[in-house]
Structure 1
């Protein structure tokens, strides 16, 4: 096409020059004929250029370019063809966008698009039902102004969206929502909201069932354990063949009692989101007592337990709950590490918050088990757990205590090299001891 244009332009210029020279020979004014002819050709090209400029500046989306002939006619025709192709491509893209919006609008889950600052850009009909958004007056509003729960504001600003957030609906407190945020593009946000009321009700029924059954079993188990203890205190009056049976019954009763205590503790932890006795806890002193208990638990196995704790670092929360969580981690290291093994307990702080790490050089845990370690009753090795007398609820208790203290648990382990359990707490939970 460019070669055709160049050839046509060259031919037209040659014809114009030839015509001007001929006219000049006839009139005897060759120079003036060339000047006038070339000036006229230039003026014509400028007029065509001005027509194109005016059309580009003032034309409507569907308005075709102006008519022309010659070289400018080809230019206008090329612009017209390009315009038609762009309109077709734009139509196809708009059809795709319309289908995506129609399918998204039909979802029962809410889909909300936010800009990088958290302002509303677009949402579907389900968002109006679940969150009470209103079209169009809420467009451009910060999402935190419409979902006013402090947990949502903390969740959004933390920008740690690996886990979803469960909240009651701002429209109806009996409706429970699960919120998941994903970042995309230029730090923009896509927020998905699901109605999980049914799942929440089932989970609440499970919690109530476990708590009620654990509570109801506690009384008869206490009675049975009391009679077993009385019989063992007077074993001389019984036949010797009953001694082993009574001892095993007492041992299994103690395991069941420990299991019920852990279940009741879990039910208590799940009852509220945050501990009521929220006071600064001297973690270094708490770890010192746990360290002493761990030394006693080790006994003849003589583990080498070391403690390194920042004395100026306190943690806001419940001392009883933190003691339960931290002692679970330390006692597990003692139970599952071979005799003479090394166990290191470290408590420190940095710009991210406060951290507790319990490291051992025990047998380690396979990578496939790590994601499920905090599940209730999950056991890496059932025989090993039964030998150590574990209930399978220790790490579940740790997880719930950390959640209540806005913390999280990281687990790293290698077979034959040991394991490290690290608790991370945000800066909002940390208090520096004043000197």
Structure 2
């Protein structure tokens, strides 16, 4: 025997469920909804057709199947644009009957936007990583075939080919190391480090490691920071942040240009700025620079040995340290990458 629900009971039931819930009549009109459902759809929705908000035919079919069989529970995904673009998982189940003996259906709406975005990012990541590895592998395979064939007895050609092969192998090694590094960082991102680190010393170490690159690129690397800037952090990861930011600045500045690392304590925070005199970055690229494998100039980045993961690594490390990354740039005027960390007391 099916339970009979009066209007007041359907409203009370919807309000008691800790998720977005609508109760529908046999014509899919909303007879009751809780606050979460009102907030999700942005309307006074009671009395409105449910499918005014959810237009996916699969959702309609799921509703019909529940009406046809009171033992059925179904679920479908819908992409909604009202009031904002969200992805919903909608589950239907027969609830009972109303006072006229007509069926009532419970619709449970779960926001799956974040889940879908994560899945899309995962798919994009796998596709991009595969592409980045396939390119040097294809190059290696081609040169191996040539060395086994036409260039088998050409020592000069073999020497040149081996240099190219070494460069491609190094490229793959850097990519794999960055992928592993990013994976390790993401695992620990929710755990804030507690060691007190002098960021000035970390920057000094990064400068020493990169001085040879500065010499090779003809750039002047200038560091102007206080002797002590204490933060709570992981010294290895903070070193990776400073190394990546300074390395990028040196690579993109151009011969004869200057890279300046400056900073200090500002309003209770440690702020470090890495400024270059490179070509600058167009405004529409800036919001996406920290995405994995995103490059403002693909060919230029690969020519300079970039993996497309450096700034993604920086972003996640800064996030773990409860800090903030800021990027300022203008075409033809160079760029400034700033990191802001809480000052250790």
What is the number of equivalent residue pairs in this alignment?
Answer: 231
2:222 is aligned to: 306
Q: Distance in 1 between matches of 2:225 and 2:294?
A: 31
Q: TM-score, normalised by structure 1?
A: 0.47
1:240 is aligned to: 156
The range that moved more, 262-271 or 200-209, is 200-209
1:345 is aligned to: 261
Cα shift readout 1:159-178 (whole Å, capped 9, x = no counterpart): xxxxxxxxxxxxxxxxxxxx
The one of 365, 373, 383 aligned to 2:289: 373
Change (3 A) 1:333 1:199: same
2:116 is aligned to: 199
Q: Is the Cα contact below 8 Å between 2:192 and 2:320 reproduced in 1?
A: no
1:116 is aligned to: none
Q: Is the Cα contact below 8 Å between 1:407 and 1:423 reproduced in 2?
A: yes
TM-superposed deviation, 1:199: 3.3
1:360 is aligned to: 276
Higher helix share goes to which structure? Answer: 1
TM-superposed deviation, 1:352: 4.2
Change (3 A) 1:369 1:208: closer
TM-superposed deviation, 1:431: 1.9
1:297 is aligned to: 213
Q: Distance in 2 between matches of 1:277 and 1:371?
A: 27
SS at structure 1 position matched to 2:336: strand
1:271 and 2:184 aligned: no
1:106 and 2:37 aligned: yes
TM-superposed deviation, 1:104: 5.3
Q: Is the Cα contact below 8 Å between 2:196 and 2:232 reproduced in 1?
A: yes
TM-superposed deviation, 1:259: 0.4
Q: Is the Cα contact below 8 Å between 2:253 and 2:277 reproduced in 1?
A: yes
Q: Is the Cα contact below 8 Å between 1:364 and 1:414 reproduced in 2?
A: yes
Q: For CA contacts below 8 A with separation 6 or more, give which structure has more relative contact order.
A: 2
TM-superposed deviation, 1:266: 0.8
Change (3 A) 1:406 1:110: farther
1:10-25 equivalent positions in 2, closer than 5 A: none
2:298 is aligned to: 382
1:21-420 equivalent positions in 2, closer than 5 A: 105-107=36-38, 109=40, 194=111, 198-199=115-116, 202=119, 239-274=155-190, 278-420=194-336
1:93 is aligned to: none
Q: Distance in 1 between matches of 2:248 and 2:266?
A: 26
Q: Distance in 2 between matches of 1:246 and 1:373?
A: 33
Change (3 A) 1:360 1:197: closer
Q: Is the Cα contact below 8 Å between 1:284 and 1:347 reproduced in 2?
A: no
Q: TM-score, normalised by structure 2?
A: 0.58
TM-superposed deviation, 1:206: 5.6
TM-superposed deviation, 1:378: 1.0
Q: Is the Cα contact below 8 Å between 2:214 and 2:220 reproduced in 1?
A: no
**Aligned residues: CA RMSD:** 3.5
Cα shift readout 1:387-431 (whole Å, capped 9, x = no counterpart): 1111111111110111111111111111111100011123xxx22
2:344 is aligned to: 431
Q: Distance in 2 between matches of 1:206 and 1:311?
A: 45
Task: Flag the structure with larger Rg.
Answer: 1
Change (3 A) 1:198 1:360: closer
Cα shift readout 1:106-147 (whole Å, capped 9, x = no counterpart): 358499xxxxxxxxxxxxxxxxxxxxxxxxxxxxxxxxxxxx
Q: Distance in 2 between matches of 1:286 and 1:328?
A: 13
TM-superposed deviation, 1:300: 4.0
Q: Is the Cα contact below 8 Å between 1:275 and 1:318 reproduced in 2?
A: no
Q: Distance in 1 between matches of 2:120 and 2:33?
A: 34
Q: Distance in 1 between matches of 2:259 and 2:125?
A: 38
SS at structure 2 position matched to 1:106: helix
Cα shift readout 1:206-233 (whole Å, capped 9, x = no counterpart): 69979x99xxx9xxx9xx9xxx9xx9xx
